């Protein structure tokens, strides 16, 4: 019981960036740091197991897609979102559970395709929102983000 006061300042203005990524807490702090490195001190977040997998039927299910699309639209319209970050990650439990027979290479391809599809959905439904996609992986004790899709190299 009691009041816990954060040392962080409160800014009543909404961030203009929204990050859609997986709930997996091994990546949470790193995604916030990535956003900061990209110039976004604060972010709106939509986290759900699988993240961008839940935007299209390829890897999502009807209920999940409906929830995620409605939440994206709610946030983008309500908070006047200008930028979106989509992050998929290596070793994602959602993908392992849904596609247990995929090889690691096939899984990686599937996740990249889902990022691309989510990017397309956002751009197609919310004109003017800039989307950047990343694939996160742990290696040598650090988290690395490889940018993928339109804005990136791969």
Binding-site ranges for Zn ion (CB under 5 A): 22, 24, 92
CA distances from 32 to 50, 57, 101 (A): 17, 28, 32
In the bound state with Zn ion, the residue whose beta carbon lies nearer, of 52 and 84, is 52
In the bound state with Zn ion, the residue whose beta carbon lies nearer, of 20 and 22, is 22
Output the smallest distance, CB 3 to Zn ion, in A: 34
Listed residue (38, 57, 54, 55) closest to 124, CA to CA: 55
Output the smallest distance, CB 89 to Zn ion, in A: 6
Output the smallest distance, CB 24 to Zn ion, in A: 4
In the bound state with Zn ion, the residue whose beta carbon lies nearer, of 80 and 97, is 97
User: With helix as H, strand as E and coil as C, how does 54-111 read?
Assistant: HCCCCCCCHHHHHHHHHHHHHHHHHCCCCEEEEEEECCCHHHHHHCCCCCHHHHHHHH
Enter the tokens of residue 146: 């490889």
Output the smallest distance, CB 87 to Zn ion, in A: 10
In the bound state with Zn ion, the residue whose beta carbon lies nearer, of 20 and 92, is 92
Output the smallest distance, CB 111 to Zn ion, in A: 10
In the bound state with Zn ion, the residue whose beta carbon lies nearer, of 130 and 146, is 146
Q: Can you give the C-alpha Rg of the chain in angstroms?
A: 16
Sign of CA dihedral 31, 19, 47, 50: negative
């Amino acid at each position: 019981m009691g009041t816990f006061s954060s040392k962080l300042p409160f800014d009543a203005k909404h961030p203009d960036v929204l990050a859609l990524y997986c709930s997996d807490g091994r990546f949470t702090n790193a995604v916030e740091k990535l956003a900061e490195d990209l110039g976004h001190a604060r972010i709106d977040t939509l986290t759900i197991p699988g993240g961008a997998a839940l935007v299209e039927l390829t890897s999502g299910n009807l209920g999940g897609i409906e929830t995620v699309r409605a939440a994206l639209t709610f946030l983008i319209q309500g908070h006047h979102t200008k930028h979106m970050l989509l992050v998929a990650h290596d070793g994602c439990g959602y993908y392992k559970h849904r596609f247990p027979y995929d090889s690691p290479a096939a899984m990686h391809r599937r996740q990249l395709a889902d990022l691309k599809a989510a990017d397309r959905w956002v751009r197609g439904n919310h004109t003017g929102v800039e989307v950047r996609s990343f694939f996160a992986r742990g290696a040598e004790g650090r988290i690395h983000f490889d940018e993928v899709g339109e804005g990136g190299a791969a």
